[in-house]
Amino acid sequence: MRKSSPAVASDLGPLSALGLGSMLEAPLIVPEGYDDLRYPEALFRPLEAFEGVLVQGVIARPPSFGYSRAGRAPRLEVVLRETHSEQACGELTVHLFGVDPERDTQMSQLHDQRTIVFFRGEQITSLGNRLYLRKAERVFSGLVGRVVPRYPGRRGVVRPEQVRDYLLRHAKALAPSAAERLLKTAFPENPGDVDATVDRASLVQLRALVRRQKASSDAKPTWGEVSRWVAGCVKAMHMPASPEEGIRAREVIARLGALCVLQQARRQTADRAPSHFSTPSPWQVRAQALPFELSQSQHEAVEAIAYDLHQPLAMHRVLTGDVGSGKTACYGLSAVSVIDGGGSVAVMLPGDTLATQVYDELLSWWPDIAAVTTLVSGKRRVQPSDGTRLWIGTTALLHQLDLEALSLCIVDEEHKFSVAQRQRLMSRGTGLLEISATPIPRTLALVAYGGSAVSQLESHTHKQIITEVHSPASTKTVFAGVRESLARGERVLVVYPLKNSSKAADARSADLQNLSLGLERWRKACPDATIAAIHSEMDRQQINQTLAAFKAGDLQVLLSTSIVETGLNIPNLMRVVVVNAERHGLSALHQIRGRAARYGGTGYFDLIPSKSAKRHSLERLQVLAETHDGFEVARRDMKLRGAGDLSKTGARQSGATPGVLYGADVHSQYLDEMYAVIEQQ
């Protein structure tokens, strides 16, 4: 949440809690919807309206305080009488829930004064011979006869009504300044001269705001005219003549807000500092030591990284490819080329097992770099750091490295780290190479919308993985499939979300199976198989011994928590089962799927959701059954979860995308629409 200064807070009052920097930004608070209060109903009859119903009447008798029929909800009962004619006698009952002595006193005074009052509700229903207004709330007479926006609030700090009252007073006067702010952000090339003619590229984007993407050749408005038009849209968004006008204006401002976010993302990608290092040695010499030939996509990726490293500006590239596509070889070649050129490199990985594996793998290919390479894993350093120019480790690197100018920072499995963790390892001017089979939504959005460089590796392993989402009740089917795999001499991995039963009060935890209970269940289901379990609380030596036995074939079924998500390469592991699969993200599940059929063949990936899994969670799991491409999984994940914060200082890696507007995050639909317009030019 953006913070405002104390001076500004005094101008805005409670609205400063929404993160506004000044009162000039108040018109950038986007309404959530509109209430049409132009035409109150004076005749009481059963009525259901899509947008609600507004009624007027006088209070027929003194309001009475009591409780609902269940006896639990306190409420004030107000009976209205029709006012449309002298002879009218129709009545409508309104219930105002909660304890509010001030409200009750006001209602009694309004009864005594015979004042016309207004209420808005969901619908008028009949029960016996009485009419009721469902979900009623009072409407003050000053709002009747107009279309009133609904605004966001912040519980306990600022009420939606306070936001509404402020904007109804100030939106018209502040609309021009809000329009200027939006246009400056969305069109950074805007000369700022109100008399300057809008260039054709900007005109195409402006017309796209109202879904008119064809710019006529004779249309040459000035920036001043455009500013007045946008100001009119801002005003109409807050003070519309009809709900339809408000919705149209809100869509224009939402698209303009999306364009602002896209420009911020593009500037972030373009804003790169001069590189600390730009003289890597030729990588082709080092490639000769590999025990395999690079694939075409690997060759192109390493060449692209080398090109970036030679540039005067610091590199920022994303390297993506499914499990087994050879990402380690690509970034290993890049690392040793930097070292050979006199630079220094840090490789950060999400766990000890993977860090050790990468360390051993790189040194097996290039033994001569052992003298300058250090493994930093937990509290362990395999070699002293004196003269070290290649660091390989976990997040321990963040605490044990004291370098001001790394030449290159490589983050493997970047979705396992926060933005802050990645930035701490590198200073401004350090090259950054982010590695992932399934990039996090924010990274993917910067690739898709901001133009970040990306290299995609193609899988060179011939394999097929059959993914199936089972119902919670179909565990017998899964057990049968596992026994078939064991009969073929294959190994099976079963992943659980928990080691022991959850102690949380969350109702979802009631049916969560856990590894401790699952071990006995699997032994009963597969009595002829050798089965063992590992989890993060076990001694590292014990974990390694169990993994070694699994790799050697002494174990046929391994139960584990998600510590096996990365770094597990087991020959003949052909089936992976994930219990309570909705507890994992799509990226994590795709990584776990990559453990199956690592060396080719037909593998199986069984997802078992919990009984309490929600519909949207099951739909998310279905993405894995529909696509096996990690980049596509990441793209679908971004659409489902949101792109996160795309600003330069943004730390949110997924979820809603904040922008220059307040109270309404940028919808991916508008980002896609405006990005398509930019790319077509």
Mean pLDDT of the region 70-74: 79
Burial class (CB in 10 A: 0-12, 13-18, 19+), 538: middle
Mean pLDDT of the region 666-679: 75
Length in residues, the chain:
681
Most confident of 126-135, 185-194, 531-540: 126-135
pTM: 0.66
637 vs 129, which has greater pLDDT?
A: 129
Predicted confidence at residue 565, as pLDDT, reads: 55
Whether residue 345 is predicted with pLDDT greater than 90 in this model: the reply is: yes
Structure confidence by residue, pLDDT tens digits, 50-66:
668 999 999 999 999 98
Most confident of 314-323, 420-429, 564-573, 656-665: 314-323
The owner of tokens 């730390």 is 651
Tell me the average pLDDT of the chain. Answer: 82
97 vs 413, which has greater pLDDT?
A: 97
Predicted confidence at residue 504, as pLDDT, reads: 41
Count H helices, E strands: the chain?
A: 20, 23
Q: Which sign, positive or negative, has the C-alpha torsion 24, 28, 32, 33?
A: positive
Whether residue 116 is predicted with pLDDT greater than 90 in this model: the reply is: yes
Residue 646 contacts residue 268 (beta carbons within 8 Å): yes
Predicted confidence at residue 381, as pLDDT, reads: 54
The Cα–Cα gap between 495 and 536 comes to: 13
Amino acid letter, 165: D
Residue 561 contacts residue 515 (beta carbons within 8 Å): yes
Predicted confidence at residue 424, as pLDDT, reads: 61
The Cα–Cα gap between 458 and 465 comes to: 16
Mean pLDDT of the region 141-162: 88
What is the DSSP secondary structure assignment for residue 474, as one 8-state letter? -
- Strand order from edge to edge, sheet including 431-436: 380-381, 373-377, 390-393, 345-348, 408-412, 431-436, 316-321, 453-457
Mean pLDDT of the region 174-182: 91
Percent of the chain with pLDDT over 90: 35
Whether residue 117 is predicted with pLDDT greater than 50 in this model: the reply is: yes
Predicted confidence at residue 193, as pLDDT, reads: 81
Provide the token pair at 451. 């133009």
Predicted confidence at residue 619, as pLDDT, reads: 86
Whether residue 665 is predicted with pLDDT greater than 70 in this model: the reply is: no
Burial class (CB in 10 A: 0-12, 13-18, 19+), 150: middle
Predicted confidence at residue 675, as pLDDT, reads: 73
Mean pLDDT of the region 72-97: 84
Percent of the chain with pLDDT over 70: 82
Mean pLDDT of the region 340-359: 88
22 band by pLDDT with thresholds 50, 70 and 90:
confident
- 373-376-378 Cα angle (round to 5): 165
- 651-652-654 Cα angle (round to 5): 145
250 band by pLDDT with thresholds 50, 70 and 90:
very high
> Assign residue 588 a region: left if phi > 0, alpha if psi is -120 to 50, beta otherwise?
alpha
The Cα–Cα gap between 493 and 482 comes to: 10
Mean pLDDT of the region 240-257: 92
Question: How far is Cα of residue 676 from the mean position of the Cα atoms in its chain?
Answer: 21
Rounded to the nearest 10°, the torsion over CA 532, 533, 537, 539 is 30
Whether residue 273 is predicted with pLDDT greater than 90 in this model: the reply is: no
Predicted confidence at residue 647, as pLDDT, reads: 56
Burial class (CB in 10 A: 0-12, 13-18, 19+), 477: middle
Residue 25 contacts residue 181 (beta carbons within 8 Å): yes
Predicted confidence at residue 512, as pLDDT, reads: 40
Predicted confidence at residue 451, as pLDDT, reads: 63
